[in-house]
A and B are shown apart, each in its own frame.
Chain A
Amino acid sequence: MEVISVVQLDQTKAKDECLNLSLRPLQVSDVDDFMVWASDEKVTRFCTWEPYTNKEDGLNYIKNTVVPHPWFRAICVDDRPVGAISVSANSGNDKCRGELGYVLASKYWGKGIVTRAVKMVVDTIFVEWPHLERLEALVDVENVGSQRVLEKAGFQREGVLRKYFILKGRSRDMVMFSLLSTDYHS
């Protein structure tokens, strides 16, 4: 009995790793897929925004925020968006720095998808943005799953910033992670 369940576990893991993952721009035509994760309060727990309740707001978000964004991609399984990943840009003396963010539909949690998506971003962002020296991410101290993603993707944990952020009215401690272009190239 034990042997069978171990084999089944391995097959599930292998199947997850075989998931056909890709990154591409998120478009207005993707709004229904967007609403699947954007309306889920499990997903938005550590997001600054409340779950979306109507498609019109979703369309406006895609048109006004996603389309003009410096670097925003849908995370796709078999070409269907199941989440999103983005890198923000800064200007002037802060141009060396970009902030990574990501979100994934809860049905797809636990399969290593975001870790793979982060690695795909890391493989391309330092090439697309040669001025980028530092990719950073801020994660709520209670969001252990997201901290693990960044650790597995090779980010370095730099410290806990106390009451760094106000999330839905409460001040939160955040963990700062970074990956330098020199970390990536070594």
Chain B
Amino acid sequence: MEVDLSKITLRPFKLEDADDFLLFAGDDQVTNYLRWQTLSSKQEALDHIKDVCIPHPWRRSICIDNCSIGFISIFPFSGEEDRFKANIGFGVAVKYWGHGIATKAVKMAVPQFFVDFPDVVRLEAFIDAQNLGSQRVVEKTGFQKEGMLRKYAYMKGKLRDMFIYSFLSTDLPANP
């Protein structure tokens, strides 16, 4: 399958995306390293879009020809002390893996996010030590690996080692 990366766009989710959303959010391979439970019905997809995606401070559908094939979520922390930090997560339907789509999407999302949230100074990604694909995505998009946090948290019942990466607002290329 050939993928024309110039056809990748980001936009907010709509209820109409439910069937496409279920294709990736209903797939264990995609949700394996996410905190989400794998979805199992169109109703769950509709509920998730309505209750989580739409009210989310910054979640975008990754689209090819306006069809949803994945997501990027950037979550600024709440509280006075932590508003300058945010956390990024992403996922793409398995059928579209291996074409650089997530990398393209993250490259598009990061500068836009810093414009939308000018108070955020540090964008971080916690990536499972075994999730090589996502590690490559963030490395190719300019995140800096800061270290491995051993036995940092439980994910789906298992204690995980995680790499922590960061992208600072000052890492963005200077405007000409």
Q: Which residues of A contact B (CB under 8 A)?
A: 48, 92-97, 133-134, 136, 156, 158-164, 166, 171, 176, 178, 180, 182
In angstroms, how far is the closest chain A Cβ from the Cβ of B157?
Answer: 9
Partner of A158 from the list B84, B144, B150 (CB cut-off 8 Å) is B150
- Asked if B2 is an interface residue, CB under 8 A from chain A, the answer is no
CA A163 to CA B164, docked complex, whole Å: 13
Known: A159-B146, A180-B150. A166 touches B84 (CB 8 A): yes
Classify the secondary structure of A's interface with B.
Answer: strand
Is B121 a contact partner of A178 (Cβ separation < 8 A)?
no
Interface size on B, as a range, is 20 to 34
- Asked if B155 is an interface residue, CB under 8 A from chain A, the answer is yes
Is A163 a contact partner of B122 (Cβ separation < 8 A)?
yes
Is B121 a contact partner of A163 (Cβ separation < 8 A)?
yes
- Asked if B153 is an interface residue, CB under 8 A from chain A, the answer is yes
Query: 7 other contacts beyond A159-B147, A161-B146, A182-B151, with CB at 8 A cut-off?
Result: A133-B159, A158-B149, A159-B145, A161-B147, A161-B166, A162-B168, A163-B121
Partner of B154 from the list A95, A164, A178, A182 (CB cut-off 8 Å) is A95
- Asked if B36 is an interface residue, CB under 8 A from chain A, the answer is no
Q: Which residues of B contact A182 (CB under 8 A)?
A: 151
CA A92 to CA B145, docked complex, whole Å: 26
Q: List 7 A-B contacts (CB under 8 A).
A: A94-B154, A96-B152, A96-B153, A159-B147, A162-B144, A164-B85, A176-B164
Is B159 a contact partner of A163 (Cβ separation < 8 A)?
no
- Asked if B7 is an interface residue, CB under 8 A from chain A, the answer is no
Is B151 a contact partner of A134 (Cβ separation < 8 A)?
yes
CA A162 to CA B85, docked complex, whole Å: 11
CA A33 to CA B98, docked complex, whole Å: 62
- Asked if B54 is an interface residue, CB under 8 A from chain A, the answer is no
Is B150 a contact partner of A178 (Cβ separation < 8 A)?
yes
Q: Which residues of A contact B148 (CB under 8 A)?
A: 158-159
Known: A93-B154, A95-B154, A134-B152. A160 touches B147 (CB 8 A): yes
